């Protein structure tokens, strides 16, 4: 998942979505150093300046935010009050320059929020989010500023601008118009009030989930470890030790800890406990319960878009995305979901047959699905997930990603000497990224791989500084963040095949940042149902021969992964797709239902239950993110009414992957790789996504390829 921030286009302020979600914004080198706060100060040192992560001071955060907002408003007022007629240069480009001090503060905010959260930070966050919302409203509701933006958008100068400049103007205008700039009087005031309250609620939602992840840790004794791989046991022991529980084994309340436990543990009662604890995050009827918050968020979102004249939130959200309408997004999901449900029925029957043959005397329950699916995998494909893990070393996979980046993007990754670039935690590594041919500096890549208390769960990518050239070339600072369980000292970190795919996926986001050739910062943004495509596509290189032969080696012997095991992995590529697609598409459908329904009297718990009944959701599966911890759509607005975007991107991904399969050089075809980088990575949001994809593929994407990827029947075949 990308946590690349969404700036209010054309304005040097951080969007409300970031203030609410804790996602890390893209900082930029600043113009003025503000004395007294390292958080505001211009970045110094090598590589065009880097964040002073080693000198972060939480006590300075609130004053720095206040100072940064005040300075930004002065800059905005100067643009709005310019007596000269509005032009692209004095209005649109001027907006690209403002807010640099505040950008830098939010780089540190993002680290505290996502990587190093503490109760003290969350108190600051709760106090500042309403102020940040009010600050944003002052900009979007600045009538004089919007009049100038509209004058450029509707003026004759547009015809003389380059296509990327025209798109920049449209993005700026659309960003204001769709966020209340056209409103007047009481409607404008109410819009600002709603944004302020949503900022509070969405922040509270995310913090409630984090609180449950931190509070619910299951400590095991040695006699409760049955079935668990040695690597998991070692990591669990280290996690317990970090929490002051020497001699015990910690199962933390995160997906990276829960998922392998449910696959391997032969203690059914413990599997149920871990499953219930994980899927009950935000739903425990206590101070961190999110159900009432969900209802209020949905009511406020609905009211807000009605002020703008939209029927429902989803119609507003999708208008400027690839899908354009909720109906088109639903059409895609409804094409996939029935095939996924049919496959689930087959998977459950296979699992039940094994359980019956073993004399287990059970009916498959949700906490049994992963466990018995693993048994089916072994029986059908002779494929043991733990056997595969022996060849999946985190460090070797990182080297594999660097190899792929070199072959496709011509990037060279070189480790930076420890201490040369400040980091916010000792686990963080930094690499210098250069062009392999010219040696020219592209930027830096940070990696924060391990789980820790205060770090949000999952995996994500972000950038601390984005590419731009309009005031001189700026180098990129990109980051990948994961939650792997750190092993014992000196022991390699072994990860699952799914985690390896996620690692490549998130690296795809980083490559997207690093590949940028755009001139203006706003053009580094993206369309949500498109930006996951580039990262999902990179997952396909994990199973290329070059990666398999050189980087998937046994952690003890160093021997390459055997050909027969590779064959078994490939044969099992569509295994368990019923589970994978059902849990995902169900969540995406419920997201769309939430945002196309009048939420006046909505009860979140009852709504989720009724929605899943309408979908004929199998009792053995829950949606991937149950509503009370569905942070994608409720801790910010980044994926709200847009969780379907992963599926939309999957269609593009599968179609593009088939282009490489058909190319003379396969996945390393130089000509096609250049088209990929030039048309789908380097342009970022300077080109309409549909046009960009057609420039790469020569046509629009078709659903056929993704159905083949899933192993589902292809319509019409």
Residue among 309, 305, 245, 200 at smallest CA distance from 595: 305
**C-alpha span between 124 and 128 (Å, rounded):** 6
**C-alpha span between 282 and 297 (Å, rounded):** 15
Q: Is 114 helix (H, G, I), strand (E, B) or coil?
A: helix
**C-alpha span between 556 and 329 (Å, rounded):** 47
HSE (side-chain half, CA atoms, 13 Å) at 670 = 1
DSSP 602: -
What single string gives the DSSP state of each residue in 413-468?
A: EEEPPTTTS--SSTT-EEEEEEETTT--EEEEEEEEEE--TTSPSS-EEEEEE--B
Instruction: State how far the alpha carbon of 470 is from the alpha carbons of 426, 517, 521, in Å.
Output: 35, 11, 9
DSSP 624: S
**C-alpha span between 630 and 298 (Å, rounded):** 13
Token couple for 634? 């409720």
- The active-site residue out of 374, 432, 468, 506 is 506
Cβ neighbors of 271 (< 8 A, separation 6 or more) are 261, 262, 265, 367, 368, 371
506 is catalytic: yes
Q: Is 184 helix (H, G, I), strand (E, B) or coil?
A: coil
Q: Which residue has the tokens 């000198």?
A: 55
**C-alpha span between 674 and 696 (Å, rounded):** 10
Cα diameter, the chain: 84
Token couple for 247? 């001699």
Q: Is 119 helix (H, G, I), strand (E, B) or coil?
A: helix
Q: What angle do CA 697, 702, 707 make, to 5 degrees?
A: 125
DSSP 271: H
**C-alpha span between 590 and 331 (Å, rounded):** 14
Q: Any idea of the CA torsion for 31, 35, 39, 42, to the nearest 10 degrees?
A: 30
**C-alpha span between 645 and 633 (Å, rounded):** 12
Q: What angle do CA 527, 585, 576 make, to 5 degrees?
A: 120
Q: Any idea of the CA torsion for 689, 691, 697, 701, to the nearest 10 degrees?
A: 60
**C-alpha span between 571 and 203 (Å, rounded):** 44
Contact 24, 111 (CB under 8 A): yes
Token couple for 21? 């979600």
Instruction: Calculate Rg over the CA atoms of the chain.
Output: 25
**C-alpha span between 700 and 694 (Å, rounded):** 6
Catalytic residues: 506
């Amino acid at each position: 998942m990308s946590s690349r921030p969404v700036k209010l286009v054309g304005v040097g302020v951080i969007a409300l979505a970031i203030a609410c979600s804790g996602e890390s914004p893209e900082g930029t080198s600043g113009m003025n150093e503000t004395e007294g706060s390292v958080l505001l100060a211009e970045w110094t040192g090598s590589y065009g300046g880097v964040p002073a992560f080693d000198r972060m001071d939480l006590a300075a955060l609130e004053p720095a935010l206040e100072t940064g907002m005040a300075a930004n408003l002065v800059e905005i007022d100067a643009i709005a009050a310019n007596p000269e007629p509005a032009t692209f240069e004095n209005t649109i480009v001027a907006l690209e320059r403002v807010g640099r001090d505040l950008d830098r503060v939010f780089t540190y905010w993002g680290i505290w929020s996502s990587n190093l959260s503490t109760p003290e930070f969350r108190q600051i966050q709760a106090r500042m989010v309403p102020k940040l919302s009010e600050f944003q409203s002052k900009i979007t509701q600045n009538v004089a500023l919007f009049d100038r933006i509209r004058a450029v958008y509707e003026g004759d100068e547009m015809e003389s601008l380059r296509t990327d400049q025209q798109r920049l103007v449209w993005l700026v205008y659309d960003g204001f118009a769709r966020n209340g700039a056209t409103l007047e009087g009481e409607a404008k005031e109410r819009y600002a009030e709603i944004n302020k309250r949503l900022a509070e609620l969405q922040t509270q939602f995310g913090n409630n989930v984090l609180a449950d992840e931190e509070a619910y840790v299951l400590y095991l004794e040695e006699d409760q470890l049955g079935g668990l791989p040695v690597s998991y046991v070692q990591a669990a022991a280290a996690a317990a030790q970090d929490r002051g529980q020497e001699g015990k084994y910690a199962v933390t309340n995160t997906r990276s800890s829960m998922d392998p436990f449910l696959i391997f543990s032969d203690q059914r009662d413990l599997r149920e406990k871990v499953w219930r604890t994980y899927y009950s995050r935000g739903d425990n009827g206590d101070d961190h319960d999110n159900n009432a918050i969900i209802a209020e968020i949905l009511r406020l979102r609905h009211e807000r878009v009605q002020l703008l004249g939209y029927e429902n939130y989803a119609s507003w959200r999708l208008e400027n995305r690839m899908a354009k309408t909720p109906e088109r997004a639903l059409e895609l999901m409804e094409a996939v979901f029935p095939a996924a449900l049919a496959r689930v029925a087959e998977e459950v029957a296979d699992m039940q047959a094994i359980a019956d043959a073993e004399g287990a005397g059970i009916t498959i329950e949700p906490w049994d699905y992963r466990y018995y699916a693993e048994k089916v995998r072994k029986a059908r494909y002779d494929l043991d997930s733990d056997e595969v893990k022996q060849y999946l070393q985190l460090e070797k996979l990182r080297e594999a990603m660097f190899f792929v980046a070199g072959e496709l993007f011509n990037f060279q990754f070189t480790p930076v000497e420890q201490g040369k670039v400040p980091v916010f935690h000792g686990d963080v590594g930094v690499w210098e990224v250069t062009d392999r041919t010219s040696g020219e500096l592209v930027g830096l890549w940070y990696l924060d791989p391990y789980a820790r208390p205060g770090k949000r769960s999952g995996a994500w990518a972000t950038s601390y500084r984005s590419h731009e050239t309009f005031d001189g070339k700026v180098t990129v600072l990109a980051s990948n963040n994961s939650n792997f369980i750190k092993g014992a000292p000196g022991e390699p970190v072994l990860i699952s095949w799914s985690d390896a795919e996620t690692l490549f996926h998130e690296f795809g986001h980083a490559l997207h940042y690093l590949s940028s050739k755009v001139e203006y910062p706003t053009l580094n943004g993206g369309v949500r149902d498109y930006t996951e495509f580039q990262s999902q596509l990179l997952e396909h290189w994990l199973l290329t021969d070059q990666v398999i032969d050189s980087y998937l080696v046994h952690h003890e012997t160093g021997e390459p992964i055997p050909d027969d095991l590779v064959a078994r992995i490939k044969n099992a590529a569509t295994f368990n797709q019923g589970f994978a697609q059902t849990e995902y598409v169900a969540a995406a459908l419920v997201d769309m239902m939430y945002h196309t329904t009048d939420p006046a009297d909505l009860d979140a718990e009852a709504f989720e239950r009724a929605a899943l009944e309408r979908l004929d959701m199998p009792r053995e599966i829950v949606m991937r993110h149950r509503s009370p911890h569905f942070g994608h759509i409720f801790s910010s607005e980044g994926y709200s009414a847009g969780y379907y975007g992963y599926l939309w991107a999957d269609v593009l991904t599968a179609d593009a992957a088939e282009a490489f399969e058909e190319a003379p050089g396969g996945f390393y075809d130089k000509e096609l790789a250049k088209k990929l980088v030039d048309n789908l990575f380097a342009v970022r949001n300077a080109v309409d996504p549909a046009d960009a994809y057609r420039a790469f593929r020569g046509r629009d994407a078709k659903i056929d390829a993704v159905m083949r990827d899933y192993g589902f029947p292809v319509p019409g075949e």
